[in-house]
Amino acid sequence: MPAYSAPLTDVQFLIDDVFDFQKHYQSISSGEQASKETVFAILEHCAKFCESELSPLNQTGDLEGCSFKDREVKTPKGWKEAYQQYVNDGWQGLSAPEEFGGQGLPLSLGVIKSEMIGTANWSWGMYPGLSQGAMNTILLHGSDQQKKDYLPAMVEGRWAGTMCLTEPQCGTDLGQVKTRAVDDGCGGYDITGTKIFISSGEHDFTENIIHIVLARTPDAPNGTKGISLFLVPKFHLGDQGQVAERNAVYCDSIEEKMGIHGSSTCVMNFDGAKGYLIGDINQGLHCMFTFMNTARIGTSIQGIGSSELAYQGSLPYAKDRMSMRALSGTKQPNKVADSLIVHPDVRRMLLTQKAFAEGGRAMLYHAAMIADKMMDAHDKGDMETYEEFDDELGFLTPILKAFLTETGYESANLGMQIFGGHGFIKEWGMEQIVRDARISTLYEGTTGVQALDLLGRKVLLGKLKTFDGFTKQIKHFVKTHRNTKEMKPMIKQLKRHLRQWKFSTIRIALMAKKDRDAIGGASVDYLMFSGYVAMAFFWAKMADSAYTQHKNEQGVTPFYLSKIQTAEFYFERLLPKAQSHKTLMLKGAKGLMNMDESQF
């Protein structure tokens, strides 16, 4: 298994040179304590924890997996101890409000932390990751009493959290939810039903688990309009807030999965379990989107992590493995053959992994900055500004989740390809990355679901408002850099693709007026086109920063030169893939829908 090494130089380049996090932090209240020295110390400490504690447990956890007995789950050897170290170091509360025991630092620092953790050991990172989503939901939508009762222990890490949506009869279509919530007349509800695919539903990390559950009251309207959200603790709380008697919620089984073996994926039964309403009746889906969007951003991190870890495994192998001679002439005459890395096709695969990992990281950090501003507005009670940033982040969320997980899975497969037959063997660890990465395109809404969300809800129903908001940023960049000599080739391509993006969006909208299936027929290709263009924008920003730093540095600057050359590779070899998606998304749905069901 590749030993994870945190890419701190690349992280520092993004937060210092590309995005100027220090200037950003000066504009938000949570950034007051986030000095450059503090941020660097946090990143170094997190990198050390991920490299020394989590990375070594990645492959062993995959081999051992979770075990289930008598409704209890035991995590792989060493995982609980690593979590205790995580708690002792205060990582769970890094970006949580100080009033609940957190450190009150910007949310974006928590995102960078999560990226390191997720790349080092994705399965382990899902446990605190799900808890983070539960904390955010309670923080934004819970009552003052719920925040007081549950957040301090969750922020500390003594208690964990889950998201309970899916049921046996429904996945993404939450309008089919059947779990019932009956008012007990004493301020609570009796929750009855079965939830499946519940990550971290049961484990041995913490003394209590707080389930965030979608359910329907007896007189609720049909469909999504009748869904409410409830907080259901594994253990009730005593008079002093301590863990008391067991609630009637149990794990019935855990799934045997293709990958992420160290993460417990549970079937959860609620047998009249006591729950407490979060937010208003029948507004559960609105509240739950806080959790879902947190999870979707988290899933995009898995895409980046898959690209990064696959690259970190592939690069040393490509340098060490001898195979054939270079077509342009022998490169290593003292050896029996030349290294794999001399071959153009191997370089294509390595550069693809590198471009997707580093480009995805830039996209993620940009989104994290928006989340910082959004939470800052919420904390100040400026709900109008909060909604504006929420919409801005909402436009990017399906692109981040779907595009970065699709490219992450592609990168993982390229890692196996570089290893050849050895990539198919467990001991090298590359096949584990593929297996673990595969789920990322499925959960929190498949690629197809994310694509419909982007094109149908965010773009067309939103009347292009958030689309125009994001593309305006690209237009400004193009305008201010069009006369920059070094940037001209990239700017020319970026301008052309931006024009095609707008034209194609309007064309699909017109097609949809005649045939609504045109949206479904175009959506995935539209999302992939959007992803390639969005990543091109961030690669152009990175190239611009690298050119500037390259000029300012004295002597050879291999890091900035590598960044520039990777940007050139992206524009030359990866961005052209957007054109095939453009062609397909304008074909309409006729060729997809002509065939009668009986002919399949």
Q: Which amino acid is at 363?
A: M
Tokens of 82: 């690593």
Running DSSP on this structure, what letter comes out for residue 460? I
Round to whole Å and give the CA distance between 59 and 49. 17
Round to whole Å and give the CA distance between 529 and 548. 29
Q: Which amino acid is at 586?
A: L
Q: How far is CA 245 from CA 72, 160, 208, 233, 369, in A?
A: 16, 17, 11, 11, 42
Round to whole Å and give the CA distance between 573 and 436. 27
β-sheet bridge partners, residue 208: 159
Interior angle at CA 200, CA 102 and CA 259, nearest 5: 125
The question of whether 444 is a catalytic residue gets the answer yes
Region class of 588: left (phi > 0), else alpha (psi between -120 and 50), else beta? left
Residue 182's nearest CA partner among 246, 147, 230 is 230
The answer for residues whose C-beta is within 8 angstroms of residue 339's C-beta and 6 or more apart is 318, 319, 320, 321, 322, 323, 331, 332
The answer for residues whose C-beta is within 8 angstroms of residue 77's C-beta and 6 or more apart is 60, 64
Q: Which of 51, 444, 572, 597 is catalytic?
A: 444
Region class of 555: left (phi > 0), else alpha (psi between -120 and 50), else beta? left
Tokens of 241: 């807030």
Which three-class secondary structure state does DSSP give residue 215? strand
Asked whether the beta carbons of 405 and 302 are under 8 A apart, the reply is: yes
Running DSSP on this structure, what letter comes out for residue 185? S
User: Taking each helix axis from N to C terminus, what angle separates 344-379 and 107-120, rounded to the nearest 10 degrees?
Assistant: 150
Q: Which amino acid is at 399?
A: I
Number of residues assigned to the chain: 600
Round to whole Å and give the CA distance between 222 and 239. 38
Looking up tokens 């549950």 gives 150
What is the set of active-site residues? 444
